Amino acid sequence: MAGWSTEQIMAAVPSMVDLATVSGTDLGRMADIISDTATALGVKAGEKITLGNGKVVDAMQHYTDSWAYAITNANLDTETLGLSMKYNGAAMHQAGLSQGDIFAANMIAANFGSKGSMSGTAFRSGMIRLQAPAKKGAQALEEMGLNASEAQKEMAAAGAAMAKLDIQGTSVMDKVIAIKRKFDENKAAGNSDANAAMINDIFGKNAFQTWASLMDNANLEQMQKWAAEMNSGEIEGWTADTAGVMRESANVQFELLKSAIDACAESLGHIFLPAAVTAFQTLASGASAVNEWIQNNQTAVQWLGLLAAALSAAIVGFAGLGVASAAFSVISSGAAVAGGAIT
C-alpha cells in the first residue's frame, strides 16, 4: 500500500481483511494488489463516490465489493484478476468504461480462458484501437505506457476498418456491441473468413485470439448484467457478507471435524473395549488363582522363600570367592615383581 496516507490505509483495512478472507489470499499480498489496481482506476480510500443511479457509496468498499463479486462469479482468482487489471485497468478506465464494465469484461474473458496478461494486453490494445485518434492526446497515451504515434496509427487503421464495415458507436462499449452484432451476422451466414479479417483489422494480430474468442463465445448480455449490478450498487456489502459466510463455514467445518474425531473415538472404543475388558478379567482371574494357591500352600511358599534366600547367599559367596581370587593373583604378581627386583 505504498503511496497511501495513514488515513487511507486505516479506511481500507476492514474491506481488505474481508476481501483477503474471500479470496484466500495473504492480507499483505491482497493489499498490494488492490492498492495498485485501485490507483489505476482512480479509486481512493476514504472517499465517497456517486454511482450512475445517484447512490453514494464508499469508493474503496465499492471497489472491493466489485472485486469479490468478480472472483466469486467468474473463473478468476485474485492473482489472475490482479494481473489482468495491471495491464488493462488504466487503459479501460481512460477509454471511459465504468468500473463495473471493466470488471465484467475481465470476468467474461476469464470464463473462456483468457485472463492474466493475455486478456490484460489484448484489452489494453483493443481500447486504444477502438478510440478515434482525436479523442486521446499524447499525454494520456503515454500514461498507459504507449507510444503516441504508434497508438494513433493503430487507431487510424482500426477506425478505417470499422468505417468500412459501418460499425458505429459513440463509446467503446457501443462499438464492441456493434462488432459483436456484425460478428454474429457473419457467423450465422457461415462467413468465418469475414470474421477473421474483421477482428484482425480492428484489433490487430497480437490481440486477435482474445478478441476472436470474446466475439465467438462471450455472452454480452451476461457481461452487461454483471456490469449493471456493479454500477448500480446492487452488490454493496458483497465482500463482508461473503467473508461472513466463509468464516461461519470455517467454524462449521471445525465443529464437524471435532464431531468426526469424537465419533472415531467412540467407534474405536466399541471395538477395543470388549477386548480390554476380557484381558483385565483374565488378569484378575489369574491373580485370584495365584492368591488362592498361596493361601493353600503356605508351607511350600516358606520353603520357596528359604530356597531363594539360600541361592542368593550362594551367589554372593561365589562372587566373593572370585573377588578374593583376583586379589590373591594381584598380590602374587606384586610379590614376584618385588622378588625379581631384590635379586
DSSP letter at 134? Answer: G
Match 492474466 to its residue by C-alpha cell. Answer: 116
User: In this structure, how many other beta carbons lie within 10 angstroms of the beta carbon of residue 305?
Assistant: 10
Helix, strand or coil, per DSSP, at residue 49: strand
Per-residue pLDDT of the chain (343 residues; tens, 9 = 90+): 555 677 777 777 788 888 988 988 888 888 889 888 988 888 888 888 888 778 888 888 999 999 999 999 999 999 999 999 999 999 999 888 999 999 999 999 999 888 899 989 999 988 888 875 434 444 544 554 545 455 556 666 666 777 776 666 667 888 888 888 889 999 999 999 999 988 888 888 888 888 988 888 877 888 889 999 999 989 999 999 998 888 877 665 665 566 557 556 655 655 666 776 677 677 767 777 777 777 777 787 677 767 776 776 667 666 656 555 554 564 555 445 445 544 5
Question: What string of DSSP letters covers 90-125?
Answer: HHHHHTT--HHHHHHHHHHHHTTT--THHHHHHHHH
**C-alpha–C-alpha distance, residues 230 and 65, integer Å:** 8
Provide the total of helices (H) and of strands (E) in the chain, helices listed first: 14, 2
